Structure 1
Amino acid sequence: MNELRQLARVRDEQLAGQASGAGARALLAAIVAEEPSTEDAGSRAPRSRRTRRLVVGLVATAALAIAAVMGPTLLKRDATSYANTAIDIELQGDEYVARIKDPFADHALYAEAFQAMGLDIGMELIPVSPTQVGGIVRMGFAGTTMDDKLGGNLEPDGCAFGHEGCFLTVTVSKGFKGRGVFYLGRPAKSGEKYQAFGQAGRKGEMLEGYDADGRTVGKVVAEAHRRGLQVVFQIIEPSPDGNGFGMSRDQSAEVGDHWYVWAAEPEQVGTVRLLVTEKHLRKNPVTGE
């Protein structure tokens, strides 16, 4: 069994305090202690080979103990796997595969695991609507090459997160040399607003199969209520050419049933956000169609 691989799984908190324990102090004393002597160098008796082997062995043992206490930094070069309470990482062929065990963990635990594998990767899991769970919704790179790749998905492909055996996973190409920061979609807690979302009418989203674009507010609200959803409004202002839009500075206007909906977006669990204007438009400013 690869001893370095096993050592890479040792975590700081598992060894907390051991470096200053009685055994460690005794070991350190055995390595460095030397009796004062009044003999000159020429009159000292040479140490036996057995003594020298013992000292070398103690030094090697101390070095491994110190490396373990200091954590993955000293061991990462040859590590092929690492695990903590939030994530498991394993080298599989030409890529590292990271399986998320706790999608709500402090993101520092994810960075710790990637660092243990010699990777400068920062990762944060953010609340997203159902169709975005498991996907990388934002990312940034520095000092990377064309061969450096990141990916995110559910494993096995197509599984439903929350069911037994379904994991959020991240893949990183072997030899990733640059720095990467990315955000992976996780299920939202109750009351959390989505930080990324798919259109509400998509399969798997809250208005699945329903096209709200261009319909009146009254009709879309009725459909949302039929599905047990709450509705919030966002008033938009189309650009002069009809391609694109901005958010109205005045969101206090009372939206009537005769207003028009140009997009329906998931807001949070159980709530859909409707992008609306009071007047009908010849072109949808959200889609440009």
Structure 2
Amino acid sequence: MAVTALAVAVAIGVGLAPVGPATQYANAAVSIKKADDHFSVTITDPTADHRRFEEAFRAVGLNVRVKVVPVAPNAVGTLLGPIVPEGFTRHGSIGVKAVTPCASAFCGKVWMPADFPGRVVFGVGRPAGPGEPYVDDRPYDPSGEEALDGYTVHGKTVSAVRAELHRRGLKVGHRLLWSRPDGGSFDQPVPADRIKNDWIVNGSRDHSSDTVDLYVVPGPGAGPMPDPLKVATPQWYDLTG
């Protein structure tokens, strides 16, 4: 499928001054046009260089970084974020709301204060290359996600699930799923030798076109729970480019 044919419609609600930035802008990647109380944004090329998106947002007065990131096939063209890495402490709110029906990969409204001076990051999903890790901004669901069609990993031993993945010609990634005292959880990427065969798999998620990550409940011998901040992996919005 030609990804350049995908169109992503987004509406960005902002408080506009009577005079100021341009009311519309378009390039080969994206077009932005002012409506009564929002900007209608159509992404025409999800694979375009991030600078093409950023120049359009700047032209209409928005201080936005855009990262074009690899995603699974069903997420190509979708919008990730908005993210405020340093935290949002200003008046108003910032967020995104999907709109349906939608004839494109993503339709929605994104709102943020027009005068917000901090770093705001959006992502646009492009097709991942063979074996390239997917970006997924959804937190893992500890109730047990499933990545394999026709096969439930939840509750099975690591050895059993590994055997099924190898039978399907897939590689295996491993993440320890730690439960915090406050009832939350976090995951820690670990090498295969940190995982025992008889430990229990909570769920699985596609890591790339050829790899599935297993989320494993720490069993006997796993050691103490680490500091979540010390084992956190870089997020898509922290990466360069």
Superposition TM-score, scaled by structure 2 size: 0.60
Report the more deviating stretch, 256-265 or 107-116.
Answer: 256-265
- What secondary structure is seen at the aligned counterpart in 2 of 1:118? coil
Which one has the bigger helix percentage? Answer: 1
Q: How does 1:94-105 map to 2 (within 5 A)?
A: 94-105=37-48
Query: What is the alpha-carbon distance in structure 1 between the residues aligned to residue 151 and residue 91 of structure 2?
Result: 43
Residue 276 of structure 1 aligns to which amino acid in structure 2?
V
- What secondary structure is seen at the aligned counterpart in 2 of 1:110? helix
Q: How does 1:28-177 map to 2 (within 5 A)?
A: 77=20, 79-129=22-72, 134-137=78-81, 139-140=83-84, 144-146=90-92, 149-151=94-96, 153=98, 157=102, 166-168=104-106, 171-173=109-111, 176-177=114-115
Partner of 1:68: none
Residue 176 of structure 1 aligns to which amino acid in structure 2?
A
- What secondary structure is seen at the aligned counterpart in 1 of 2:193? coil
Query: What is the alpha-carbon distance in structure 2 between the residues aligned to residue 118 and residue 254 of structure 1?
Result: 49
Q: Does structure 1 residue 267 correspond to structure 2 residue 211?
A: no
Percent of pairs identical after alignment? 27
Q: CA deviation at 1:98?
A: 1.4
Superposition TM-score, scaled by structure 1 size: 0.51
Residues 223 and 94 (structure 1), Cα distance of their counterparts in 2 relative to 1, 3 Å cut: farther
Pairs aligned (count): 195
- CA RMSD, Structure 1 to Structure 2 (Å): 4.1
Q: CA deviation at 1:222?
A: 4.9
Query: What is the alpha-carbon distance in structure 2 between the residues aligned to residue 209 and residue 185 of structure 1?
Result: 30
Q: Which structure 2 residue ranges, 5 or more long, are not aligned?
A: 1-18, 226-241
Query: What is the alpha-carbon distance in structure 1 between the residues aligned to residue 182 and residue 196 of structure 2?
Result: 22
Residue 273 of structure 1 aligns to which amino acid in structure 2?
D
Residue 30 of structure 2 aligns to which amino acid in structure 1?
I
Query: What is the alpha-carbon distance in structure 2 between the residues aligned to residue 145 and residue 279 of structure 1?
Result: 45
Q: Which has the larger radius of gyration?
A: 1
Partner of 1:8: none
Higher RCO by CA contacts (8 Å cutoff, separation 6 or greater): 2
